[in-house]
Amino acid sequence: MEAQTGTHVAILPSPGMGHLIPLVAFSKRLVATHSFSITFINLITDSSAAQSSVLSTLNDVGLSSLQSVDLPPADLSDLPISAKIETRISLTVRRSLSSLRTLLCDLTSKFPNTVMVADIFGTDAFDVADELSLPKYLFFPANATALCLMSQLPALDAQVSGEFRDLPELRLPGCSSPFPGKDLLAPLQDRKDAAYSWLLHQAKRYRQADGIFVNTFEGLESQALQFLKENRASFPEVFPVGPLTLELPENDSECLRWLDEQPPGSVLFVSFGSGGTLSCGQYQNLAHGLEKSGQRFLWVIRTPEVTEGPAAFFTVESKGDPKAYLPQGFLERTKGVGMVVPSWAPQTRVLAHAATGGFLTHCGWNSTLESFQNGIPLIAWPLYAEQKMNAILLVDEIKVAIRPKMQEDGIIKVEEIDRVVRGLMEGEEGKALRAKMRDLRDAASTAVAEGGSSYHSVVNATQIWRSTV
């Protein structure tokens, strides 16, 4: 076998759509604009049609330097059913290290100039990179604000006694808004849970990376990026390379045809990401609130759960029929005004459609970036992960979202849903948010265009690769 002389990048995404999508987009950008070869290493625990469709975009015509390899599934059968996503993903990576080592040994004999890029929960793979003397980078699919928190987590863990959730507020260098402790990353809410220890472990290892790519852009989170830059003595160089988003293949979608028939800017898109679920009561309230508002809506429904959260994270598909949990007569009463789509919709195409005028979102960072790219203002309804921090950023700092008020019991009432939906779609507040979003749309497209700040960040990192591997 003849060794290849160009730079080769071995990319190791964590399972879950929110991790796969931006890393596939990053891989495609590296191949398209910097003519590297890429191996995309999949650690998928439970494949779904949606995940396969993301991976299928790696085979696009013209991207022959991209190959995708599956590692054998890691066995997590010993984990209790209550084990959180962060624990599951981190253990999947750790238990895949031996097969990763074998694969990387093969790859480096073919591609001696290999760089490894792992993501947010994949830092244990740095050990394999070190054994093989490969440069090791991290890809952070969330924003610079969350990366600021991760950079300070080891110190905060030592300084704060007791639970973060009991702190009325925490001021983080790099972030002008204070965060109530209960709105910090979900796995930080319970120190006794294994997910907390895993997150702390990952945060400590971030420092060992040769550099960190973050899916944001200059001008969006200037203060957080500035803090990270100034912190170079104790934290790796940070490269803002976003927004990195992906248009998924979707040839025949009923909801897009339905949107074609709606007036411009009239439809509220409602979706809680690839895995977010509501409780039964909240699901019913949302249905009643949408109906009461009289606004047009396209709602991606997923079977409600006893508790809210990331129930469907690995698979995206609903358990059972989510329509069965809607209020009686809802579908008939909202016919013509609303449409529900079980489990999954072609989100980037929906947000780019002329009929879409607002987005009620769980504030996942990919969804947020996709709304920036299309200039769509938001209703912020965070559920888990870093989404509550994102909601604060969107409402208080960037000012592109309205957030409905939650009652003490954690439920958002029908009247409040009606208020925010009408406020966004037909109120003055909605107009102001829409105008701000249009500016952001332009800034996002300038950042990634040739000569833009995110374009330059990728060039800078790749120049370092070329000179070091």
Q: How far is the CB of 13 from ligand UDP (least distance, A)?
A: 12
Residue from 230, 205, 227 nearest 216 by CA? 227
23 touching ligand UDP, by CB under 6 A: no
- By CB under 6 A, is residue 271 in contact with ligand UDP? yes
Q: Could you say whether residue 347 binds ligand UDP (CB under 6 A)?
A: yes
Among 51, 65, 367, 373, binds ligand UDP (CB under 6 A): 367
**Residues in region 230-249 near ligand UDP by CB under 6 A:** 248
Give the side-chain half-sphere CA count within 13 A for 147: 33
Residue 118 exposure: Cα atoms within 13 Å on the Cβ side: 28
Rounded to a whole number of angstroms, the minimum distance from the CB of residue 302 to ligand UDP is 9
Alpha-carbon distances of 386 from 182, 206, 308, 313, 353, rounded to whole Å: 11, 17, 15, 14, 28
Nearer to ligand UDP, 49 or 435 (CB): 49
Nearest CA to 309 out of 417, 431, 225, 410 is that of 410
Asked if 274 touches ligand UDP (CB under 6 A), the answer is: yes
DSSP 405: P
Q: Residue 344 interacts with ligand UDP (CB under 6 A)?
A: yes
Q: Is 365 in the site for ligand UDP (CB under 6 A)?
A: yes
| Residue 394 interacts with ligand UDP (CB under 6 A): yes or no | no
Residue 392: CB minimum distance to ligand UDP, A: 16
| Pick 296 or 419: Cβ nearer ligand UDP | 296
Q: Which of 304, 364, 382, 423 binds ligand UDP (CB under 6 A)?
A: 364
Determine if 121 is a binding residue for ligand UDP (CB under 6 A): no
Q: Which of 10, 11, 12, 21 is in the footprint of ligand UDP by CB under 6 A?
A: 21
CB neighbourhood size of 63 (10 A): 15
Helix/strand/coil percent split, the chain, to 5: 45, 15, 40
Q: Minimum CB separation from ligand UDP for residue 300, in Å?
A: 5
> Is 13 an interacting residue with respect to ligand UDP (CB under 6 A)?
no
Residue among 34, 60, 75, 119 flagged as catalytic: 119
CB neighbourhood size of 178 (10 A): 15
- Among residues 9, 10, 11, 18, which is the contact residue for ligand UDP, using CB under 6 A? 18
Tokens of 426: 């037909």
The answer to whether residues 191 and 82 touch, using CB atoms and an 8 Å cutoff, is: no
Residue 27 or 65: the one with the smaller Cβ distance to ligand UDP is: 27
Q: Are 393 and 174 in contact (CB under 8 A)?
A: no
390 is a contact residue toward ligand UDP (CB under 6 A): no
119 is catalytic: yes
Half-sphere exposure of 172 (CA within 13 A, CB side): 29
Q: Which residue, 300 or 424, is less far from ligand UDP as judged by CB?
A: 300
CB 274 to ligand UDP: min, Å? 3
Alpha helix ranges (H) inside 17-160: 17-34, 49-56, 85-94, 97-110, 126-131, 144-159
* 453-468 helix and 17-34 helix, angle to the nearest 10 degrees: 70
Tokens 């998928």 -> residue: 44
Residue 352: exposure state from Cβ atoms within 10 A (0-12, 13-18, ≥19)? middle
Quick check: 275 binds ligand UDP (CB under 6 A)? yes
Q: Is 404 in the site for ligand UDP (CB under 6 A)?
A: no
Residue nearest to ligand UDP (CB): 18
* Minimum CB–partner distance for residue 245 and ligand UDP (Å): 6
- Catalytic sites, residue numbers: 19, 119
Residues found near ligand UDP in the complex (CB under 6 A): 16-18, 21, 248, 271, 273-276, 300, 344-345, 347-348, 364-367, 370
